[in-house]
Amino acid sequence: MTLKRLRKINNVKQKYIAEVLNVSRIAIGNYESGIRQPKIEQLPKLATVLNCSIEELVFALIETKQQTKEQRNGNR
């Protein structure tokens, strides 16, 4: 499950997550597209907002990054 899917399942808006983490909505979009990763100290808050464990969140971030990598390799 990707980070974006996890967010949508929990019906949470990017803007709300951005406010909780004190980052821009664009940063959240970058997390969801695998361009950037949240700082480790943000993980507990992000997991709480997304109603998941930190472990589930980390797996979602890994899946997101993997999909991004596969998409980039497929475009070559």
For residue 75, the model assigns a pLDDT of: 65
Distance, in Å, from the CA atom of 72 to the CA atom of 25, rounded to the nearest integer, reads: 23
The pTM score is 0.89
- Local confidence band at 71 (pLDDT 50, 70, 90 cut-offs): confident
pLDDT at 76 over 90: no
Backbone angles phi, psi at 53, to 5 degrees: -80, 165
Q: pLDDT tens, 5-42?
A: 999 999 999 999 999 999 999 999 999 999 999 999 99
* Spatial CB neighbours of 49, under 8 Å, sequence gap ≥ 6: 10, 12, 16, 17, 20
pLDDT at 73 over 90: no
